[in-house]
Structure 1
């Protein structure tokens, strides 16, 4: 029984070292989602006029639980080293909380991912029609310009999305420069492009690329949230085994 207890203690300490590293990973991914300017531009366009921002909320959850994991890991290590049933009990409770939080973050993003195509149409069209202005006049304009340049697209479904928009009603142009085909970082022909002449602008819409971007980035959050939640089951097993060893030793 002494060998079993020592084995459980050592395994729990090793697990908590890995657990701490997972906390660093959660913090890093969560902070990356919040501070990366490119991600911010994509999220602003995708989530314009939507009630929720699942990716951003999930990033906040990951950051919170990433920081909380340091406390949980410390509690587990102290409980294993001091052979404290009380600390191990708190450790088990904290593991359940972290498990539930990470799983919740993964589920929130998974639900949002499955509904993104239905929800994003109205959001994209409204932001183009009512909020897109001259370059650098608003944050949504800058975000659209960056996305159209990076994805080599124009509008949501295509360039005609700009018809009867705030932008076209205040200019003589049909589309903005960010829709243009570039040569050496400059429009191939700005005048022809902004008049929507074929072969001078990107004909495809941005909707497909934006949806693909959301789905690919949501996989990261889902994978980390659910993957680490599964990892914690191992720690839970080690902690339960150690508690049982304590009980057997007391007998």
Structure 2
């Protein structure tokens, strides 16, 4: 547990120190998830489901914009005449990914889709606007780890006393 706590502290320090590197690496990683794994709604896997959920909830499309999907072999080979995924459209029903405008997937515009709005900027803005909550949760996890370490030492002390051992 001590090692886990140290690893968390080091990770936070590195993230703060290498903020720009972390941002660019995160963007590259997100783009690779689309190009390597994203597929159509009919052939959905966990990554496709995650991206569809993110895009439909945050009103965005791809990492930078809709062109990110052109790099996905699974998307390109199964998309048919679609220009972008249904999740990039303004939706009637978010759960079913039903676009308000049936032409959205083949003929996207700013009035029927989010095709020019990348998720990376929106997501980083969301993180920045909710940073107090995120920091609070991370501090809470750290405090729970410290408390668990304290309880582990107490348990060891009680165990040693019960069995007549010396610590």
Aligning the two structures, in what range does the TM-score lie when normalised by the shorter sequence? Answer: 0.5 to 0.7
Q: Any stretches of 5+ residues in structure 1 without a counterpart?
A: 1-64, 66-96, 236-251
Under a length normalisation based on structure 1, what TM-score does the superposition of the two structures give? 0.45
Q: Does 2:16 align with 1:107?
A: no
Q: Which residue number corresponds to residue 181 of structure 1?
A: 90
Say whether the 8 Å CA contact 2:65–2:117 is kept in structure 1.
Answer: yes
Which of structures 1 and 2 has the larger relative contact order (alpha carbons within 8 angstroms, sep 6+)?
A: 1
Structure 2 unmatched ranges of 5 or more: 151-167
Q: Which has the higher helix share?
A: 1
Taking a change above 3 Å as real, the CA distance of residues 121 and 179 of structure 1, as seen in their structure-2 partners, is same
What do residues 96-137 of structure 1 show as CA deviations (whole Å, max 9, x unaligned)?
A: x4xx74354133134236343121121122222231111152
Q: CA separation in 1, counterparts of 2:31 and 2:10?
A: 28
2:66 aligns to what? 159
Alignment partner, residue 156 of structure 2: none
Q: 1:184 to 1:230 in 2, by over 3 A?
A: closer
SS in 1 for 2:104: helix
- Post-superposition Cα deviations, 1:166-224, rounded to whole Å, max 9, x if no partner, equal 21343221110011112354311132344323311113111123335566475245423
TM-score of the pair, normalised by structure 2: 0.63
Q: How does 1:23-42 map to 2 (within 5 A)?
A: none
SS in 2 for 1:183: strand
**CA distance in structure 1 between the aligned counterparts of 2:4 and 2:34, rounded to whole angstroms:** 36
Structure number, greater radius of gyration? 1
Where do 4+ consecutive residues of structure 1 move more than 6 Å?
228-231
For residues 6-58 of structure 1, give each alpha carbon's deviation from its aligned partner in whole angstroms, at most 9, with x where no partner exists: xxxxxxxxxxxxxxxxxxxxxxxxxxxxxxxxxxxxxxxxxxxxxxxxxxxxx
